[in-house]
Amino acid sequence: MEQRRVVITGMGPVTPIGTGTDVFWRALLDGKSGAGPITHFDASEHTTRIACEVTDFNPEDHLERKEAKRMDRFTQFAVVASQMAFLDSGLTITDENADRVGVLIGSGIGGSGTWEDQSRILIERGPGRVSPFFVPMLISDMGAGMVSIMLGAKGPNLAITTACATGTHSIGEAACIIARGDADVMIAGGAEAAITPLSVAGFCSLRALSTRNDEPERASRPFDKDRDGFVMGEGAGIVVLEELESAKKRGAKIYAEVLGFGMSGDAYHITQPAPGGEGAARSMAHALRNSGIKPTDVNYINAHGTSTDANDKLETAAVKKVFGDYAYKIPISSTKSMTGHLLGAGGGVEVIACACAIRDGILPPTINYETPAPECDLDYVPNTPRKADVQVAISNSFGFGGHNATVVIAKYKE
């Protein structure tokens, strides 16, 4: 049986540099940093006191106050981003098609803010004062659950949790669900809201975060010699994936086609990538095979590019392993230099960036790239956007636990 083609017909980013596709994309091309001092809590005793917070988001602008109070912030992000993407797609869910519309939205951490708030209530006021909504607000699948409920999508409904690979795994698997015929439409991506006292403290203890507290806008600097860790971000990146004939039948606009998906496991370490980036390389190679394209067909890579020492040099090594000499001809950028690292939401936001690059023929830059690192010697589109004919783009995401995911998207052709 021939696999069905899958296209992107709607997009909804909620990010530290803007909410909505047009605002988000303009900010990327302007090289805008979303980093600043943490305002969600008093971070004065943390070694890292900066993050990329979503500052233009009021849940009550989009949700009834009662509904919003019963959702963790990550679920609010998931619901609002999904509403935007669904509206953008022009879809309508009816009794006839509801069971052919599914949701696959993951979160790397889930309701960490709810966990911390309710833990304080338990300790200070006792078990009887813990909210009856604690469990449904906490669990990582509630983004997908609430989107399904609010939109009336009765098809496949699930959540994936693979740390920082979550958003990419979610979009890749959702595309597979459509390709094999189990749904015609999937609302897919990731959501995260983990800029909380305990989560930030944990990453500080891992020494994974940048401590460039006096220069937050310059702190996220993927592939740069002076990088010193990632900057935490929050938000959501959701796309509407649709079977091609369904999209054509209703005259939908098509941003791009999902050509393929690859994934792998490092089987190496809980936080460190495998030596030589071999796990990341296998993920990319599998995605290319699954897409039926050659390495030289790729025009752009949106890198995982976290701004940590190990990730950036090993992802660079992985690209060289897969693409050989052609690696030096592929433009690569890390939009995390501007958004920060949205953890489980990162992959969703970055697929949207790839789709915009394909649509407009412009590559977003890697900002703060000032001093080349010896082990990072590829073309990272430094500091300014670049015009390019992008026919095929890949987006990489790698997560703690050795989870690797790669999505290949392309300009739609009949």
Q: What is the pLDDT of residues 51-95, one digit of tens each?
A: 999 998 999 999 999 999 999 999 999 999 999 999 999 999 999
Mean pLDDT, rounded, for 102-128: 97
Is 2 domain-assigned? no
Helices (H) and strands (E) in the chain, counts: 13, 15
- Which structure tokens are listed for 411? 């300009």
CA atoms within 13 A on the CB side of 114: 25
- Which structure tokens are listed for 138? 């906490």
Q: How far apart are the first and last CA of the chain?
A: 20
Mean pLDDT, rounded, for 284-290: 98
> Is 341 labeled as catalytic in the residue annotation?
yes
Asked whether residue 206 carries a pLDDT value surpassing 80, the answer given is yes
Mean pLDDT, rounded, for 353-357: 98
Domain range for 314? 7-401
Into how many domains does the chain fold? 1
Asked whether residue 1 carries a pLDDT value surpassing 60, the answer given is no
Is 407 domain-assigned? no
Mean pLDDT, rounded, for 160-177: 98
3-state DSSP assignment of residue 13: strand
Q: Are 401 and 383 in contact (CB under 8 A)?
A: no
Is 237 domain-assigned? yes
Which is catalytic among the residues 46, 169, 304, 403? 304
Q: Are 143 and 105 in contact (CB under 8 A)?
A: yes
Asked whether residue 281 carries a pLDDT value surpassing 90, the answer given is yes
Which is catalytic among the residues 52, 164, 204, 356? 164
pLDDT above 70 covers what percent of the chain? Answer: 100
Mean pLDDT, rounded, for 162-184: 98
DSSP state of 319: H
Q: Work out the angle at residue 262's Cα, subtended by the Cα atoms of residues 156 and 282, and round it to the nearest 5 degrees.
A: 150
Is 411 domain-assigned? no
DSSP state of 377: -
Where does 23-178 show beta strands of DSSP type E? 35-37, 50-52, 101-106, 157-158
**How far is the C-alpha of 320 from the C-alpha of 277, rounded, in Å?**
10
User: Alpha carbon of 122 to those of 42, 55, 134, 195, 356: distances in Å?
Assistant: 21, 30, 11, 21, 46
Q: Are 337 and 305 in contact (CB under 8 A)?
A: yes
pLDDT above 90 covers what percent of the chain? Answer: 98
Asked whether residue 2 carries a pLDDT value surpassing 80, the answer given is no
CATH code, domain with 180? 3.40.47.10
Is 101 domain-assigned? yes
Q: In the prediction, which pLDDT does 3 show?
A: 86
Is 136 domain-assigned? yes
**How far is the C-alpha of 253 from the C-alpha of 268, rounded, in Å?**
43
Which is catalytic among the residues 341, 354, 356, 376? 341
Is 414 domain-assigned? no
